[in-house]
Amino acid sequence: MSSSQTDSRQRDRLKRLATYASISAAVFLALIKLVVSIYTGSLAILSSLVDSVSDIFASMITFVAIHFSVRPASLQHRYGYGKAEAISSLLQSAFVAGSALFVVYEGINRMINPYPITDIGWGLVVICISIIVTFALVVFQQYVIKKTESLAVSADRLHYLIDLTTNSVIIVSLILVKFFDFYWFDTIAALFVAGYLLYNAYEIAKQAIEMLMDKELSAEIRDEVCKIVKNCEGCHGIHDLRTHNLGGTYMFEFHLELDGNLSLYAAHDITEDVEKKIKEKFPEAQVMIHQDPYGLSEDRLDNRLSKKT
């Protein structure tokens, strides 16, 4: 088995482990928040409970998406199934936005019809537990993202980063209520959570749509590809470079400018060398190269696009 196949299997395994961990953490936190929110009547804890419930569904979607995304390419899907992660991220954004709107509704309702909060101490305990569990999960997810560059795991991680922030706000809310009788702050904290949820739902959806719409990779990555090509022996230039993210796997397509007098075998060897060096920098990238004689005058994509800007 090649090292690239081994690395691929390790990345797939890490992605699956990340989904198992997130689902387990979300279920555990949702259960304890349900009990404590009923017992204390805290809207802040209720808002955190709603977020945990949405995390369960979002993480389940991530699990399904990763199950498909790690499948090898087939005759019908020759680029693979990596974009399933983008679809799951888009669905996750909908869950987050829905949770935020529910919290806004409850916050306004609680402001109009105040509800006394009791046993604040239990609320502090459950939120502290949430912070500890969530922090451990986020650290593991960050490790997985670093190794796999998974958009689905990145989107899932956003949920739990939100939890870390909102739980910290909730602790402040519960302390103010317990020691200073600032009951109104419980509602304010819930509305703050909702606003933060909506903002992050937008960010998740934006990234997913960019992948589904085949947005070009960053200027740094494109520049790196051009640099690699220009430093390869026998290469005279590169044009019409097109790039996109297939779901953790980069796709590079470009025209390679070579000496027009080269034999087909010599041109093939240079092209193979270029592809090899690109894959050394970007493992598992898919590279499609069209060979052009250097100096050939033709209608180029670069020229057409530059006229539109």
Per-residue pLDDT tens over the stretch 36-62: 778 777 666 776 677 778 778 878 888
Cβ 151 vs Cβ 211: under 8 Å: yes
Count of alpha carbons within 13 Å of 144, Cβ hemisphere only? 27
**Over the range 60-98, which residues count as b (16 or more CB within 10 Å of their CB) and which as e?**
ebbbebbebbbeeeeeeeeebbbbbbbbbbbbbbbbbbe
Res. 261: pLDDT tops 90: yes
- For tokens 């109104």, the residue is 184
Among 109-118, 218-227, 245-254, 283-292, the minimum mean pLDDT is found in: 109-118
Is the model more confident about 259 or about 106? 259
SS3 content of the chain, % helix, strand, coil (to 5): 70, 10, 20
Question: Mean pLDDT score of the chain, rounded to an integer?
Answer: 82
Domain with CATH 1.20.1510.10 in the chain: 3-212
- For tokens 């109009």, the residue is 112
User: What pLDDT, on the 0 to 100 scale, is given for residue 68?
Assistant: 83
Domain with CATH 3.30.70.1350 in the chain: 219-308
Paired with 237 in beta bridges are 257
Res. 250: pLDDT tops 80: yes
CATH fourth-level superfamily of 219-308: Cation efflux protein, cytoplasmic domain (3.30.70.1350)
Q: Averaged over 290-300, what is the pLDDT?
A: 89
Confidence of residue 5 (pLDDT cuts 50, 70, 90): very low
User: What pLDDT, on the 0 to 100 scale, is given for residue 73?
Assistant: 81
Confidence of residue 4 (pLDDT cuts 50, 70, 90): very low
Query: What gap in Å lies between CA 78 and CA 76, rounded to an integer?
Result: 6
How far from 167 is each of 93, 158, 162, CA to CA, in Å? 20, 14, 8
Is the model more confident about 18 or about 39? 18
Percent of the chain, pLDDT > 90? 30
Is the model more confident about 68 or about 257? 257
Confidence of residue 178 (pLDDT cuts 50, 70, 90): low
Q: Tell me which CATH code domain 3-212 carries.
A: 1.20.1510.10
Percent of the chain, pLDDT > 70? 86
